[in-house]
Structure 1
Amino acid sequence: MKTALAVVPAAVILLAGCASGSGGADTPSPSGTVAAVDAVTAPGTTSSSTTAPAPTSASATAADVPTAFPTTFNDVNQTISDPDLKDSITVKRLARALPWPAGYKASAQAYELVALELTWTPSKDYTIPIRKQDFAINTGSQFPNTPDPMVDDAIKTAGFVLLPDQVDKGDPVTGWLVFKVDPRNAAKLTLDYTRPAVQISGTRTSFPAKTFSVGIVG
């Protein structure tokens, strides 16, 4: 197996830096014009074809699971394949309008929490990581729409498996990523995966940075 050294371009670094915007205080919308006076109740998911798995932890009892957390999901079953590195990402299921934690009233009016169940299949030819920081949901907004950890604990309590920060070898890994998406209730959602530039160690082979996209809504 050849080792691939990722050379992360500035655009990807900026993307990664924007991925965490949930330090516990509410954050303004990109325009800075959103103001909230009342709590927002996230709507439930109306179309579905699969149901939620049962909690896998003994501590995740029915009383622990947030009542507004989705129990039904939309099947997507779309795959991104990297022809250069021979790895792939499959979008299995989608859950929209996840409930916001307390203290995020303004954000809940402007943004939507969207969960994707993904399967990451690492390359068998190269050891190049598939990283969660390289994913974003594209709605046409200038907001980065990257993974956000603010409800990770609630998802784990509900019995769902989260994806790791990255995988670079081994068997396929399946889990969930939650994205903070602008605008709320967008009619079209596209998953973007930006592979960083890669130089194959010990060779002259290199691959430029490339963004792969797959439609998930609309």
Structure 2
Amino acid sequence: MRPALALVPAAVLLLAGCANGPADSDPDGTTGPTSTVAASTTTPAPTTTPSGTTASSPSTAAATALPTAFTDVNQTIIDPELGQSTAVRRIARQLPWPAGYNASAQAYELVAVEMTWTPSKTYTIPVSKQDFTINTGGTLANAPDNLVDGALTTGGWALLPDSASTGDAVTGWMVFKVDPRAAPKLVLDYKRPASKVSGSSQTFAERTFSITLEG
């Protein structure tokens, strides 16, 4: 079996697309992307299993209020060039905001997407959170947000790692801060970054894959 080939980014500078709109006074916790590409071919990505919606900690208000109704998606993004795939299983809308985020809760919606990432067996370029956004038809993309990750973990929801580049498939949830609240159409975009095979002249151009989540 051939060892996985390392890919390096074609560009050093990456621009973060973050559709969080005008700033308010809330301490919103939108995570920014990183530009690290995994080069190791020996450490497998962590494997998690899809969870239910068990609210096992009644002392955590946000955990007890997590949604129990989901919208099935059951579509898969397949990257034929790299051999990666992302299976989008279902979404949960209107996740509760923590106390103190009243202004944001009026303008934005927290949307959770359950996915299974299957990394390439040939190349080590990762599938990363930073490469996913939700498009509602506006001018800005809606990026992942880790604000309620702790509440989801307490409630028994498995979370996706920041990235996965080798090893087995990994399943979990990712939360997005979406503008506007209650948007009628949600489209998940995965932007595969431009990359180059280490030690060769082979390159892969940037490419965007899209799946309609709702609407």
- Unaligned 5+ segments in structure 1 are 29-50
Equivalent of 1:6 in 6, 9, 17: 9
Shift of 1:144: 2.6
1:183 corresponds to 2:186: no
Give the alignment of 1:35-184 within 5 angstroms. Answer: 52-54=52-54, 60-64=56-60, 66=62, 67-184=64-181
Distance across 2 between alignment mates of 1:26 and 1:161: 26
Who is 2:212 aligned against? 215
1:199 corresponds to 2:196: yes
Q: 1:166 to 1:19 in 2, by over 3 A?
A: farther
Q: 1:91 to 1:150 in 2, by over 3 A?
A: same
Query: Tell me, what secondary structure is at the counterpart of 1:72?
Result: coil
Post-superposition CA distance 1:69-94 (Å, at most 9, x none) = 10121111111111111101111010
Distance across 1 between alignment mates of 2:84 and 2:141: 24
Q: 1:19 to 1:141 in 2, by over 3 A?
A: closer
The number of residues matched between the two structures is: 188
- Relative to the length of structure 1, the TM-score reads 0.79
- Unaligned 5+ segments in structure 2 are 29-50
Distance across 2 between alignment mates of 1:111 and 1:20: 8
Q: 1:20 to 1:132 in 2, by over 3 A?
A: farther
Query: What is the identity percentage for the equivalent residue pairs of Structure 1 and Structure 2?
Result: 53
Q: 1:160 to 1:54 in 2, by over 3 A?
A: same
